[in-house]
Structure 1
Amino acid sequence: MAAAVFRRGSYLWVVFDRLQETDLTVLRRLGGDVVRDVQQMQHTQATVIRILTESSYNPGVRREGLLWVVDLMPQPLRAKVPIPVKVQPETGPEAHILFDGIEGGTVLSILDPEVGDEMTVVPVIPVGQGVTPARIYPDLELLATVQGIALLSRIDTLNVQSSRNGIEIRASGAGLRLSRTVERAETPRESFSSSIFDIKNWRRGDDYLLEKRRLERDVLAAGNAAARTAPRLALARFEFAHGWGAETLGILGVLAADDPALLNTPAYRALRGGGNFLMSRFEEAVEDLSHASLADNDESALWRAAAEASKAMPEAQAPFLRLHAPLLQDYPSVLKTRLAQVGAEAALAAVDESAAQHFLEMIRAQTDAPQAGILHLTGRYNELTGAFDAALVNYGDVARGTDRYYQPRAALAQTELQLRLGQIKPAEAIKRLDRLRFAWRGDSFEFALLKRLGELHLAEGDHGQGLRVLKTLTATYPEHPETPRIHEIMQAAFDRVYLGEGKEKLSPLAVIALHDEFPELTPTGAKGDEVIRRLADQLVAVDLLDRAAALLDNQVRNRLTGLDKTKVGIRLALVQMLNQQPQKAIDALSSSEGPNLPPDLQLQRRHLMARALADLGRTDDATQLLQNDPSTDGRMLAAEIHWKAKNWGEAAKALGGLVEPPPPGQTLPEEKAKHALDLATALTLAGDERAVMQARRLYLTPLQGTTVYDAFNLITSNGDNTPINPRQVAELAKLAEGFKSFLTAYRDKLKQGKLSDIN
């Protein structure tokens, strides 16, 4: 079986060219805190595992017998044995890429749901053989791998063939375009489509104030609105070339007001898109730079990719930014630095060392580049390449500084790295991240910070605070592309509390409070019914009977059918009885009745109905229900109903069927002994002396050694018709009041178990 292992953004991909089911529970457990999520992607030919991990943890691959083992450690993403990438030849109709002598597996097409594109993956058999570093060509991109080959095609005619002798990548009908590799981004600017930003000429020299006054005089000298269009556009371009986004947008707004036709021209849209980017209005920038008039322009596409990367998921734009980096060659420092910073961030997110290094070198070459930014990006590069001590020094220098933009970012990166290296505990990380919550607001940094803070709270068992942070995040960024993923994390945490291992870690009151705060997370369908069932159990456990009844009543009325409805109706009736609401108990039983019920459920319903009727004073109706009930619970309930009504003779009849004399020489079990005492008490209170004496003859000896022997002896000792003494009167009164009731038995069951255990 051949394997491929590589990273794309935050996700690690493990691919085998044989289809089999994988135990994801085991993988999650083995991954510990490093692994945040594991999924097996659907595929007809292969086993495709996608793992969300901490970004600084990268895989190593080894074999143990027939098993492939993937080790996650803080290390660079590198293959142990880099596969030579042979370009033969670089140009012409036969140009192709060859991986010679590599025993490849099946060529697989795999959809990446995060980005929405399709990857071509070729697992290989030799252990540790992968592509290092990544390479980008006009027709394809080779991803960095620690095992196997993974690539992204930029043409429809790409053809990948794998055999025991090697792997070939060709283009059907023509050679691959391979000369424009951007491993070092040395492509000349002229190789791209026509420029739309003539920034060098737009700057008009180095004296900003002097040139600005000249342009403003040109605007004032124009006779009418139409004549002012050209000088105004020149002034807007001048401001843009000097990096002033607000001024650019202000002038463009006036231009469009005077001449609305400009709005749909490529020059206007590109310039306004660039101005919006400089103002960090990335949504507006993407909209402008996606205008149809700019469809075939590489330069506007570069700015659009930078805006997309600044919004979210920069790793998705990393290959494009790397490929188009040569367009920055003639840019002034203020613009080159800004775009190179975005390129470096994207390359680091995509774990592309080569591109990150190139963009960093570009930034360092600018004399006016912010030192805090350079240090922060250098720290991230050092972390990516495994130089963790150097990275912590870089982060610390920036975190102690005063740069409002980079200081919180460096503090977050420092905290994350120290946590991964075991230098601080999660509790300390939570404190630090909480202090950073208001250091920088309103962009991808705040999103990442709140997401991580919520995850840490959840990992530490603070479900309430974790869900609160994540709820704030989703409310603040409802349109963020990762917001659906945050909802999934919240739902999974909620489910763990009520349906998984987390349910044992919170007190009943905490579980109830969590549901009250996040009712929207209650799942639908069978899972939701199970959550309600367990929540009702918790509510009854802390005697919140009204709340439990309301939940169960909604289940009976609106959610359940069939046998499940009957079972929950019985539980609802019991809760209403415990809450001293007999009529509501009867209503619950009536509304949940179903056909062909199992005998045990029929019995439960009959007993609860009888007890509810008795509590409403309908003793005759209650006893009528129990008339032909031979069960122990039925006889006990009949005895209780008659006992409460002081129908001592009828109570004695019901009790008489509960206790049979044991064989000679045997002692009655404790429960039977209590029934015998209840029988003697009822007979005595009924004044049936003959029956009392008969009970004494039958049960006195078998009761020796039980807890009720003395009481039974006292109650039945009046066989000589002498007056009952005061002690007997007191004992009778005590026993009459202490008869164990039907509901008391249920309460005892609930102390030992849960409401849902009754059926």
Structure 2
Amino acid sequence: MKRRTDTGTTVASTLLLVILAVPAAAQAAVTVKGQLGDHAEFSRLALSLPEGVEAEAVAEACALRVTLPKRANWPVATLNGIWSTRLSGFQVTEDGRSLTADIACGARVTALRERRVLIVDIGALPVPARKPPVPAGLLPSDETPAEALEDTPVSAAAPTAGDAPQAVTAPAPSTFGEIADALNPVRTAQAQPIPPALPTLPPPIKLAPLPAPVPLPPVPVLVKATPPSLDTEIRSSVEQTLRQLETMPAAKPAGTPHPQANQPVAQPVPQGPPPIGPMDVAAWAGEDFVQTRDRLQQALNGAQGRARVDAFIALARFALARALEEEGRATLEAAASQSPAPDQRYSLRILGDAFRALDRAGTPEDSLFVTIPPAASPDHHVWRSATLAPTRWEAAREGLPIALKRLLDYPAELRSRLLTILAEAAVAAPDVNALNLIVLEMITVDAKGMADGRLDYFRGRLAELRNTPDAALDQYRKAAAITHGPFARRAEVRGIELRRTLGSLDEDGAIAELEALRFAWRGDDVETDALAALGNAYARQGRTDAALDLFGLLGRRFGATARGRDALVAGRGLLAAVLDQLERAKPGGLYALALQARHGRLVGLADDGDATLRRRLAALLARDGYSVEATRILHALTEDSSGARRAELGALLARALIESGHETEALEVLNRTGDSGLDAGLAERRALLRADALLGDGDTMRALDALRGLPGAAAARLRARGLFEAGEWPAARTAFAELVDPVPDPAAEDVALYGLSAYLAGDPDTVRGLAGRQGARLAGTRWAGLLDTLTPPPTGDRPLDGDEVTRQLAAADALDRLARGWRSGR
């Protein structure tokens, strides 16, 4: 007997299992699925959310944020693995509640919730004062008045059977289709944009010309079936477009080209980062230092996620308003480690650029205060001027009046630091008018707060720039009377320098006073500048050893400290003074070689961006005969440069190699450092160097070919040398005559080679006349006595008299001296 199945029991068990499974499913982790797709005019992000979960999509400055009420598992790896032109950098923030992505600043963002799918469209950047073009299919023809189109329903705009093929009507969406769309984010991401644009018809077929123009039938409008939820919005958009067409002229026939069809469409200009807004620095600083800092620390201790980053930003703003650089930098580093959102990263970068402006560190081109054009915010002008002041004073001076007016409302500590930066830049410029405005503001608002001698020091510098040295000395004495602070010591040093300039103190007295103050500077901020001033005094007095010792002391003591940058700047001035003395000294000394051997690394650290000091040192080494060290410096500079600068340094290296007798290496350097975008002067100089190297290498014909078409005396001299070395004596004589005869004081080498060319060409008259005119020009050179030797005796058959014998003995003696001089390599 078969056992009968209990249907009721089975159904009850199934229902019980379903009921028990519901809490487990509710307790599972919330998972979000997503897909990303790119289209011609927009990019679409489709996120499939759990049932009953509300999501919020917000477009911030340069980012998109999607926030849920609770934590979720976001498909970050999947979205970052899909390339998109408008969406990138997906990150999870706020402890898993938010998903952020980087978008173009100012991009149009549209969000729409369709059941469980959140659809976010990121469009192209908006074009100012430009309306989107109307599709061609909506333009009324000559035979279809706008009034008729206005009254015609959208569904009635389809063509009839005799006019055009019937438009395919999309079936109404079913319940199963809607559920499939909600659960399939891939198909949703590849759909059309949220406001569906009406499709345009293909271009009409060109017909053969007829004797009489036949009007074309009206262009039908194809309407794509839309979901019921968007039908009202689309109908209102179409009706609005048709009403706007009433005021437009009737469209031309389809065969007539549109007058603007061939004009290029202006592409939207990408927008940069948003402008820097105003800064309430006084509110950032707070009224009481201790209470404000304690309140900010307490807010930081209990914050999580995005709120914790905001607390760090508030603490960094407090440090900036109070001019606390070290604490501010530490706060910015801590905030950067908390995975901040894009808008928070933007705020942190602005604060970091402000701290770098206070420290005068970094390049101004990397700062947002410089890259973003200043808007209406006066705080932007303040920090832009402070950033540009140390290196580009003319650009910083443009916003100085606005900056000085805004600084009146800044806290005293920060205002004092910024005014000092601007004042030092104005002194270095020098800019008397700007320094006068800055000093007036110091007197107005910070006279009591600048009790460290700063105000008196800058008033002394202002009086010095106004050419009133007595008033400057009085201000320096007032500042030096203060026993503490770096500006008091600076005033002492500047007073000694000014008295030496006025003649009331000689070099020995200046050195004595500076040495007496040397130990008083120990550990002070002014020690680097004071040691540099003492080194300059040693260099002016000719005590190069002592000046070099002080330069090495600056590098050893302060090169690796927080004041290393100031030490290098001070050492740069000291080294320039030493090089000035060496350039005025006689060639052949050992100081240039000692400087390179003992302090070569420090010279490279103290040098500026154009390598001015190292190039001067290389020129001194080459002049004194140390060509190996000179070419080593120039070779290192050439390899570390590029473009036109590399070509210029390569020319200097090639000249040093040619003068040391390495013409082959010079040609290799010129070939390796060439560039196509050089200016005319540098290109001509490199061509002359190439010809000179070819002449030294023995390739005379290639050298003459390289000189073809080059103007100037240098090219003419090389051309004459090439003709001389090629054995073309008459041509060489003519070429050297063009160099010697028109010049009142020609070069000794040109005179000597002119005489040799004339002698070898068999022209004794020219040699005799040249010896009479330019014989004294060769005295003291390696060519001394050459023309006397080459001058032939007077013709005649009479016996030699005493004068002729004396002349020939003198010629023999000159020839002997010439031979001995050439053998010794003089």
Name the structure where strand makes up a greater proportion of residues.
Answer: 1
TM-score (norm 2): 0.38
TM-score (norm 1): 0.41
* Structure index of larger Rg: 2
